[in-house]
Structure formats: structure tokens, C-alpha cells
Amino acid sequence: MELMEIGTEVFVKGKGRGILALNNEDGTWNVEFYDDGAEGDFYEEDLMPLEDLVRRWSPAGARVVPAPWTSPRPEGWTRFVCFSDTHGLHQLIPKDHMPPADVLLHAGDFTNTGELEQIESFNEWLEAYPAEQKLVIAGNHDITLQEDYYRSRGASRFHRGVPYDCSKARPLLKGCSYLEDTSVEVRGYQIYGSPWQPEFFDWAFNLPRGEELRQKWSAIPPDTDLLLVHGPPAGHVDMTSRAGRVGCQDLQEAVHQRSISVVVSGHLHSAYGTDADEVTLYVNASTCTEQYNPTHKPIVFDLPPAHELREATKKAALERKEGKLQL
């Protein structure tokens, strides 16, 4: 494994992710693991550079496309383009960050605080986007989309004096399928969307960690291929500079109990990027940076035909369950 050097991020078969700390020069490397400070020596054949795992393929065949303008999707595959956390700034997204795709996904926080003018303008942007189908969920900032929250607390907290008529919010999203704890089938893929996230200063679609979130995630249908959520699951694309990993543990358990090919999220702007485990590709598509500039490129991935994807993902999930991890 010529390309490996100290400092390379690797996936260790059966163990998880770590970093190469030392070449033992006997065919093994010393690996330090991220989360718990553990370390150990492993044979090269049990190591795979994380970059290879994420960029080239996931076991299920989902393929991240770093240069969508110049890499056409393979015949019979479907191209997804993912945005999130555009926060009312969609008009400032550069044109070269808007590659054509078959399906556009937006993982929530399309407004600053649910302003109806922003929803209307976002809908115009969506309608003009060169994608056949567009799927959108809300985030904690899209406060007019959660009527009971908005009426009881959101309006008085954020729109003092002149509240919006929040019954008008959802009908403004005409140019997309809006998912809220619902599924849609697109080109044979089962896609489930849900806006909920662990509570954080009493925003919309907040729930306490534990039982209440577990209940929401228990509604994810077992045949889901692609999950669109606002906040990421724990352990993947959920790193923050101030508080470490803050993703939802309950969501991660729900993902592990199923065979889901791709999880698309946003919410934690600092965790923009992609990651993978043995079964699932994880995307954090936050378009806005931590400073709320909409300059992150959308994340683009291609999926093989639905039946192929599902078969490969089920096989990988089964192997994980039986402890026969395959990289």
C-alpha cells in the first residue's frame, strides 16, 4: 500500500476510523482512533484510506462526483445534487455551483426565520433549477413551517408585533415535493424526509434526545433507500469546532437498524462534507459556511438503478450484522 503515509485517515476493518500514527515496518501500521483515544496495530490489508472509501465508491455503489460539470453520470444511473442551509441567500449561489441533475435535495434551513418572502423567492429559485425533481424538508430556522411552534412561541420570539400567517408557508413551496415525516418514490428509490433534530435553544422541529426522537425515527420505513434529514446522525459529518460531535445518536441507531444507502443532512455548517461507513454514504450539504456565506459547493452523487443499489446495500448491512465487514 504505497500511498499510505503517517497522518492518512483510514477505515480499519471491524474497528472504524482512525489515523495512521506509525509504520511498524513489518506489514502493520499503528492506528490511533478518533473518538475514544484507543490505538492498535493492523495489517495493511485491513486498512483502507478513508478518501478512497468516500470518493471512489461506497459498498452500496453510491458515487460522490467531485466535478459534476465534466463527469456525466453513467447510463441508467441517477444524479442527485444536494443543498442545505441556504438561509434565504439562494440568489447568491454562484451559477457554477448549480450543475444540472436528475434530483435536487434540500436538507432544510432554506430561510433565515421562516419569512414568507424568502420562501416565495426560494420556490422561484427551485423552479428555475435544472433538475427534474426537487425534494425539500424544513429545518429549525424554517419556523413558519411548524404551525404549533410558530403560534405558541416562534412568532413572539422572532417576529415581534407582525407575525406571518403561517398557514400560507407550505403552499408557497409549489416547485418541489415537501417531505415532513413522509416518503416519496423517485425513479424507484424510496426517499424519506424528516425535519426533526435534537433540541437547541427552542427552535422549530426541536425534540429532546432519547425517547421522543427515537419515536420519530421509528417511523422511518424499513425499505428506505435514501434519508433526507436536517441534522446529521452521531458520528458522521457532525463535527463542530466548539462542541465536538453533536449528531443525533438515536438517528444513528435507526440508520444502523435499516439498510439505508445514503443519508443527506445539513444543519451543522462546519461539518459540510461526505463520509461513509461499511453500508451508508453520509452527506452534510450545508451550503452556508459558519459565517453564513452560501459558498460551499453542492454535494453531487450518482446512484446505480434502485434494485442494484438496494441489493448491494442489503448485502453490506447483512455482512455488518454478521461481523463479516467487507471494504
CA dist 117 and 1 (Å) reads 55
Applying CB under 5 A, does 85 fall inside the site for Mn ion? Answer: yes
Pairing of strands 273-276, 281-284: antiparallel
For Mn ion, which residue of 62, 79, 109, 262 counts as binding (CB under 5 A)? 109
**All residues at 6 or more sequence positions from 171 whose CB lies less than 8 Å from its CB, including other chains:** none
Applying CB under 5 A, does 111 fall inside the site for Mn ion? Answer: no
CB of 142 to Mn ion, least distance (A): 9
| DSSP-assigned letter for residue 253 | H
Applying CB under 5 A, does 123 fall inside the site for Mn ion? Answer: no
In the complex with Mn ion, the residue whose CB is nearer, 29 or 110, is 110
CA dist 224 and 255 (Å) reads 10
Applying CB under 5 A, does 261 fall inside the site for Mn ion? Answer: no
Helix (H/G/I), strand (E/B), else coil: 103: strand
Which residue carries 398557514 as its cell? 167
With the CA atoms of 61, 67, 68 and 74 taken in that order, what torsion angle do they form, in degrees rounded to the nearest 10? -40
CB of 280 to Mn ion, least distance (A): 21
In the complex with Mn ion, the residue whose CB is nearer, 106 or 267, is 267
In the complex with Mn ion, the residue whose CB is nearer, 84 or 274, is 84
Could you tell me which residues are beta bridge partners of residue 177?
Answer: 135
**Contact stretch for Mn ion (CB under 5 A) within 130-138, 153-161, 205-213, 261-269:** 261-269
For Mn ion, which residue of 58, 118, 140, 146 counts as binding (CB under 5 A)? 140
For Mn ion, which residue of 90, 267, 296, 320 counts as binding (CB under 5 A)? 267
Return residues touching Mn ion (CB under 5 A). Answer: 85, 109, 139-140, 267
